[in-house]
Structure formats: C-alpha cells, structure tokens
Amino acid sequence: MEFFSLHFLLIFSILLYFYLFFIHSKSSKNTQNGFRNYPLVGSLPDFLRNRHRFLDWTTGVLAGCQSNTATFHRPGKVHGIITASPQIVEHMLKTNFENYPKGIRFRTLLEDFLGRGIFNTDGELWKIQRKTASYEFNTKSLRNFALENVTMELQTRLIPILEKALKNERILDFQDILERFAFDNICKVAFNVDPGCLGGDATSGGEFMQAFEDAATLSSGRFMYAFPGSYKIKKFFNLGSEKTLQKSIVTVHEFADKIIRSRMEEMAKKNDEDLLSRFMGNSEYSAEFLRDIVISFILAGRDTTSSALSWFFWLLSSRTDVEDKILKELENIRRKYGKAIGDTYNFDELREMNYLQAAISEAMRLYPPVPVDTKACKEDDILPDGTFIGKKLVYFIPHICDGKNGKYLGKRLL
C-alpha cells in the first residue's frame, strides 16, 4: 500500500513538474481576489512558488479579499480557508471554540516533537493541562514567583551583560541574548530550574537551544511539503531534514528528562509552587507526559517573548520620539514612588506604565510573535461573514494584517 502510493506519487510529481513549468511561464502578477485555483492542482503552484515567504504571500492575498478571508484547494485533501478577519478569528477561537480543534493533521505532524503537550492535544488531555496552567497563572504566588525570578535574571545577568558591552564598546547579537534571557526565565518560572543560558559562558545551554530551534523549525517545515505525507518517506529512510529533526528531538528529550528527574528528586524534600510541581502532584502522569508538558511550555515561553522583545527594541531604535516618551513615563513613576534609576518595580508600579504597554502592544501588532494558528473544523459551520466551511477541512489563521509594506489592519495605538 505504502509502496503503491509512493510509486503513484513519483509519477504524479513528474507530471506535475511539467504542468507547473507551463503555467509558471504564463503566470501574472498577484492582483486577483483570493488564491488562484488551477485545474487539478488548485493553489499548489502558487503555494510552491511562495512557500519560502508564506506569511508575506498569504497576507498579500488576504489584503485583497472580502473580509480578509480566502479559500484554497490542494491535492491530498489539503483545503480550507485562511483568514485575517478578527470576527472570524474570534468565532473560531472563542464563540464556537468546540468546533475548531487542532485536528489530526496538525497533531500528527507535530507529534514527534511535542508529543501530547498542551500545544498538540485536543479534548480531555488538552483540558487538564489548560486548567492546571490557567489556574497557576492566576495565583498571586506564581505572579510574585515570576516577578522575583525575572528580576533576578535582569539584575544579575541581562543588565550586567549590556553594561559590560557598553563599557567595552562591544557589539552583541541582541536577539540571541534575548532568547537566552527568555529561556532562563521560562525554565525558572515554569519548572524552577535555572539553565543559566545567559550566564557568563556564552555557550552554556547552547546545544540544547540550537536543538530546540531545529526541532521547532523542522517540525513546522513539515507543513510546507507539496504532498502532505511525503515527510514520512524521508523519515522512514532517515534522510536530510528528518534525520536532523530526529537528532534534535533526542537532545530536546534528554534535556526535558533531566529537568523532570532533578525535580523528582527534589520533590521529596520541599513543596514548590511552580507550574511543573502542579503537574507532578498528580501521580497518574507518566514521565513521558511530564516531558511533553515541559517541552510545550518551553516552546510557549521562549520564542514568543524573545521575538516580541527583539522587534520592540528594533522598532524603538528608529523611533527616538517613542523612546523619549517611554523614558518620560518611567521618570514620572520613579518620582512618584521615590525610586532611583536601576531600582526594580513591583506589579502596581508596572501597571502604571501605560505608554510602555501601548508601545509593546504596537510592536506585537506590527510583528506578531505568533503569526499563524492552525485549526481543523469538526462539523459544518457558517462563519460570521457568511462563508460556509465543511467539516474535516484545515484552516490557517494568520494574524490581522494587510500585507502591504508589512503593515497590519488593527487600529494604530501610537
């Protein structure tokens, strides 16, 4: 069966190659409404042409569409809609949430990396993780725990590194620094473990961080194949990107297992308040499930915050007017609470930084740290704009954007 489809795939690929070659020479610039659909292959040719710039491409198409929503069809039952409509996003993620699980395709492609972690489950398994996590995030103790851990990371690592670079006039890779910063923070806050990636030695934790990066990139790369299942062939023969992926997953698993093991030994001694302790408190959870939980939380906390901060500082570097206003706001708050430069702030003080919050939100609106979300559709449904969507289709949801010059549709905050 597998070999039959392999054979078929090969012949089909060759035919497709010639077909694509012909339409490629005839293709016009992208001014149409929605995705171009060619006979038999649907939107596959344009997908292949644009998959290296998937976000720019889909954003551009959606900008020209009614309610920023477009449907597409590809061979191999890959069909669905892509939307950037806030109403439709709300419908899928909130109003009719039950009808839009992650779905089997998504879960299968990410299973090697994420297992049954919160980012890769639906139903009961999702619910128990979500409940535990949201409960934890709302407790005062976790907030203080997080604030104290992040403050410590700031004062003993991030700021000294920046000060030293300033003094020696050394150029830093700020994004790399922020990734390490975010990684230390998430491990401390979620697992009460300090990986020390931002510590004195620039290479500490580097192997794991690289492996994690590879595992995330290569796993999501599986969504970019011309034929949805063809990564399985590479995986079966342990070739190329699949070989690298499996290797990086081994490193990621070893790291997560180490966290669990060290925490299990400690558990006997003290009663911790971090997220992982909550999960470990339930003796029904296997070590493997705990490992998956750890991996999903690293994924949730690392790239998101570091990407948001990188873009924020990058934007700020060309907007001295905004920088001045942020500094002015901080100065007022310092004066109000009798603080000096370099002092840290508590939650109430942080809450008064309205302009700073608006600036960070604006940076995330322009450069969303999570630009795509994927859902499946369980039962036939009608979207708020009247679009019909049938069950079992796949839906991608990029954030709200108009694609032209990388600008987004949301209301300007600044």
Query: Which of 197, 194, 219 has its CA nearest to residue 208?
Result: 197
List the single partner that 74 binds among ligand HEM, ligand NAG, none, CB under 5 to 8 Å by kind: none
- Least distance from ligand HEM to the Cβ atom of residue 30, Å: 27
Alpha helices in 268-353 (DSSP H): 275-280, 287-316, 320-337, 347-351
Q: Which two three-digit tokens encode residue 330?
A: 């901080």
Cβ proximity to ligand NAG: between 270 and 411 the closer is 270
- Least distance from ligand NAG to the Cβ atom of residue 294, Å: 14
Pick the stretch among 38-46, 346-354, 369-377, 402-410 that binds ligand HEM (CB under 6 A): 369-377
Which residue has 């992926």 as its token pair? Answer: 245
Figure out which of the listed residues 373, 381, 385, 402 binds ligand HEM, where binding follows CB under 6 A. Answer: 373
Neighbouring CB atoms inside 10 A of 31's CB total: 7
CA 392-393-395 angle, to 5 degrees, is 135
Cβ proximity to ligand NAG: between 193 and 256 the closer is 193
Distance separating alpha carbons of residues 253 and 144, to the nearest angstrom = 29
Cβ proximity to ligand NAG: between 148 and 380 the closer is 148
List the single partner that 149 binds among ligand NAG, ligand HEM, none, CB under 5 to 8 Å by kind: ligand NAG
3-state secondary structure 102-124: CHHHHHHHHHHHHCCCHHHCCHH
Q: Where does this chain bind ligand NAG (CB under 6 A)? A: 145, 148-149, 188, 192-194
- The answer to the question of residue 305 lying near ligand HEM (CB under 6 A) is yes
Distance separating alpha carbons of residues 293 and 289, to the nearest angstrom = 6
Kindly identify the residues of this chain, within the stretch 142-201, that bind ligand HEM according to CB under 6 A: 186, 190
List the single partner that 133 binds among ligand NAG, ligand HEM, none, CB under 5 to 8 Å by kind: ligand HEM
Residues 312-325, buried b or exposed e (16+ Cβ, 10 A)? Answer: beebeeeeeebeeb
- Least distance from ligand HEM to the Cβ atom of residue 413, Å: 15
List the single partner that 192 binds among ligand NAG, ligand HEM, none, CB under 5 to 8 Å by kind: ligand NAG
- The answer to the question of residue 369 lying near ligand HEM (CB under 6 A) is yes
Q: Say if residues 224 and 51 touch (Cβ distance below 8 Å).
A: yes
Figure out which of the listed residues 308, 330, 383, 394 binds ligand HEM, where binding follows CB under 6 A. Answer: 308
Figure out which of the listed residues 93, 159, 350, 413 binds ligand HEM, where binding follows CB under 6 A. Answer: 93
CA of 18: how far to CAs of 23, 38, 50, in Å? 9, 14, 18
Residues forming a β-bridge with 69: 83
- Least distance from ligand NAG to the Cβ atom of residue 305, Å: 17
CA of 182: how far to CAs of 166, 318, 343, in Å? 21, 24, 21
Which residues make up the interface to ligand HEM (CB under 6 A)? 93, 118-119, 130, 133, 186, 190, 297, 300-301, 304-305, 308, 369-370, 373
